[in-house]
Chain A
Amino acid sequence: MANTTMAQIPKINPLYRLQWEPAQNGHVLLYPEGMVQLNGPASEILTRIDGQTDVAQIIASLQQTFPEAEGLADDVISFLEDAHEQNWITL
């Protein structure tokens, strides 16, 4: 996926469930008999994926929350491509 565009609308793969775990104080992705513990940036991005919001809007929303962040667009796209590769999301 080297050509992720701003207009694409990512969706969480229905194989996975994104959930807040109070005991772990973090978000996790649950899948058959397994779990991925997400770090802060990964949760910030994945929780903005709702099947309606496009990549540009996700980046804008993050930029609003983290106004001081530099190179955010590249980081987000690179994460989404990785998440797609991992099969966590569809694009």
Chain B
Amino acid sequence: MSKTGLPCSAQPVTLGAGADIKPTSRPLWLLAELTYKCPLQCPYCSNPLDFAGVDTELTTEEWITVFKQGREMGAVQLGFSGGEPLVRKDLEELIAAARDMGYYTNLITSGVGLSEKKVKNFRSAGLDHIQVSFQASDESVNAMLSGSEKAFKQKLKMAREVKAQGYPMVLNFVTHRHNIDQIDKIIELCVELDADFVELATCQYYGWGFENREWLMPSIEQLRHAEARTQAWREKLAEAGSKMKLIFVTPDYYEERPKACMSGWGEVFLTVTPDGTALPCHSARMLPIEFPNVRETTLEHIWYASNGFNHYRGFDWMEEPCRSCSEKEKDFGGCRCQAFMITGNANAADPVCSKSADHHKILASRKTNAQFKTENEAEFVYRNHKNSSVFFKQR
């Protein structure tokens, strides 16, 4: 189970939280970002701000070659993500090819563009799991955040269809200031939809989420309330004999130690972006490092020999306070993208850590963002092609 959700929820992921899995230097998790195209415009999307500058996508054959190379290296989980992966006309073909190789296949979708027929056809093609992401538990907030009025009803319908077709169902709710107080309603909805796993992932601040931090960050009071309600629900569900699992993810801006991002750089995860760029996490494209492309070299070379993947392996790259820190083997210095975004130095300690010289920036961010009391939705920088073109031109 992912600890912090998948890219459509704008979150880094931990493979098998609670499971007995040790990081191995093998890309167990292959994330295929099939396209940057998406009918929604969620303001916390983890896609790069300048995605509008990417105008090519890997072909069906190129994707299948990537899957094959990954599987030969021991990759076992395959995520179809985006953008909205349903935009790809060859999705069913890709699912069938991947399942045939032995992957556990996950479709991470907003549900927009899904139909009963597709849910059924994907099942026949061998799709193992569909994760439907929700923006909130009611229509108005959902519409505000995703920029689509119709999306919410469609999501509900598709979630029901996913269950009807016998898939395990993970519902993903990205929570933030505008919906976190509806936590009870969110969980009630999940119970009603009979979800197997529910991720209540507090929005983290990468990509578009970073741009919209001040409009997304919940206050500490909101966060504590939501945690307490989630715990109460866990007890209530356990009492009722329900097997539904609730996974609550705290935003790391409210932590004093960084997360062990991606279970370590180049340890478990490999993301391939729509144009074939290979990354150790789906946000890493923002870093001042050159990353390899699957069109130019094999996945094996990328994983074991490329500078991009070797860059932050081990501990030699670390600066103080990480270098001499007794906790470095636990959290690997935290997230490189967060260090880069907030300190301008990708080698620095993740400023979420209270030992970081830049930790005051996180504290200031908590304080500043807690001051916003009005929800002026017009202030969001929505994730769409027009806004992305602006970021692309600025580069």
**Do chains A and B stick together as partners?**
yes
Interface centre among A23, A32, A35 (most CB of B within 10 A): A32
Residues of B within 8 A of A67 (CB): none
Q: Nearest chain B CB to A83's CB is how many angstroms away?
A: 13
> Interface 1/0s, chain B 191-221, versus A by CB < 8 A?
0000011000000000000000000000000
Interface membership of B357, Cβ < 8 A:
no
Instruction: Determine the distance from Cα of A29 to Cα of B128 in the docked complex, in whole angstroms.
Output: 13
Contact of A35 with B15 in the complex, beta carbons under 8 Å:
yes
Residues of B within 8 A of A19 (CB): 76, 102, 104
Option from B74, B76, B243 in Cβ contact (under 8 Å) with A30:
B76
Q: Nearest chain B CB to A35's CB is how many angstroms away?
A: 5
Main secondary structure of the interface of A (DSSP, over half): strand
Interface centre among A17, A22, A23 (most CB of B within 10 A): A23
> Interface 1/0s, chain A 3-38, versus B by CB < 8 A?
000000000001101010111100010111111110
Contact of A23 with B26 in the complex, beta carbons under 8 Å:
yes
Nearest CB in chain A to that of B243: its residue = A87
Contact of B170 with A32 in the complex, beta carbons under 8 Å:
yes
Residues of A within 8 A of B136 (CB): none
Residues of A within 8 A of B6 (CB): 33
Residues of A within 8 A of B129 (CB): 31-33
Contact of A32 with B197 in the complex, beta carbons under 8 Å:
yes
Contact flag A23-B73 (CB < 8 Å), given A17-B128, A32-B170, A34-B1: yes
How many chain B residues touch A (CB < 8 A): the figure is: 31
Contact of A34 with B76 in the complex, beta carbons under 8 Å:
no
Instruction: Determine the distance from Cα of A63 to Cα of B102 in the docked complex, in whole angstroms.
Output: 31
Nearest CB in chain B to that of A38: its residue = B20
Instruction: Determine the distance from Cα of A32 to Cα of B172 in the docked complex, in whole angstroms.
Output: 12
Interface membership of B154, Cβ < 8 A:
no
Contact of B1 with A30 in the complex, beta carbons under 8 Å:
no
Contact flag A37-B15 (CB < 8 Å), given A15-B196, A21-B76, A28-B76: no
Interface membership of B190, Cβ < 8 A:
no
Option from B1, B74, B102, B243 in Cβ contact (under 8 Å) with A32:
B1
Q: Nearest chain B CB to A75's CB is how many angstroms away?
A: 18
Instruction: Determine the distance from Cα of A19 to Cα of B28 in the docked complex, in whole angstroms.
Output: 14
Instruction: Determine the distance from Cα of A70 to Cα of B383 in the docked complex, in whole angstroms.
Output: 62
Residues of B within 8 A of A34 (CB): 1-2, 15-17, 19, 77
Instruction: Determine the distance from Cα of A21 to Cα of B196 in the docked complex, in whole angstroms.
Output: 25
Option from A15, A22, A24, A37 in Cβ contact (under 8 Å) with B20:
A37
Contact of A33 with B20 in the complex, beta carbons under 8 Å:
no
Contact of A35 with B73 in the complex, beta carbons under 8 Å:
no
Q: Nearest chain B CB to A33's CB is how many angstroms away?
A: 5
Option from A30, A35, A36 in Cβ contact (under 8 Å) with B128:
A30
Instruction: Determine the distance from Cα of A22 to Cα of B77 in the docked complex, in whole angstroms.
Output: 14
Interface residues of B in 206-255 (CB under 8 A from A): 243
Instruction: Determine the distance from Cα of A14 to Cα of B196 in the docked complex, in whole angstroms.
Output: 11
Interface membership of B94, Cβ < 8 A:
no
Contact of B20 with A36 in the complex, beta carbons under 8 Å:
yes
Interface membership of B82, Cβ < 8 A:
no
Instruction: Determine the distance from Cα of A33 to Cα of B77 in the docked complex, in whole angstroms.
Output: 6
Residues of B within 8 A of A30 (CB): 76-77, 104, 128
Q: Nearest chain B CB to A20's CB is how many angstroms away?
A: 9
Residues of B within 8 A of A33 (CB): 1-2, 6, 13, 15, 29, 77, 79, 106, 129, 131, 170
Contact of B19 with A35 in the complex, beta carbons under 8 Å:
yes
Q: Nearest chain A CB to B189's CB is how many angstroms away?
A: 19
Q: Nearest chain A CB to B199's CB is how many angstroms away?
A: 9
Contact of B104 with A24 in the complex, beta carbons under 8 Å:
no
Instruction: Determine the distance from Cα of A30 to Cα of B78 in the docked complex, in whole angstroms.
Output: 11
Known: A30-B76, A34-B1, A36-B16. 9 other contacts (CB 8 A): A17-B128, A19-B104, A31-B1, A31-B104, A32-B128, A33-B15, A35-B16, A35-B19, A36-B19
Q: Which B positions have Cβ atoms within 8 angstroms of A?
A: 1-2, 6, 13, 15-17, 19-21, 24, 26, 28-29, 73-74, 76-77, 79, 102, 104, 106, 128-129, 131, 166, 168, 170, 196-197, 243
Q: Which A positions have Cβ atoms within 8 angstroms of B?
A: 14-15, 17, 19, 21-24, 28, 30-37, 87
* 6 A-B pairs closest in CB distance: A23-B74, A30-B104, A34-B16, A32-B129, A15-B168, A33-B2
For this complex, 20 residue pairs linking A to B, each with C-beta atoms less than 8 Å apart, are A14-B166, A23-B73, A23-B74, A28-B76, A30-B76, A31-B129, A31-B168, A32-B1, A32-B128, A33-B6, A33-B13, A33-B29, A33-B77, A33-B170, A34-B1, A34-B15, A34-B16, A35-B16, A36-B19, A36-B20
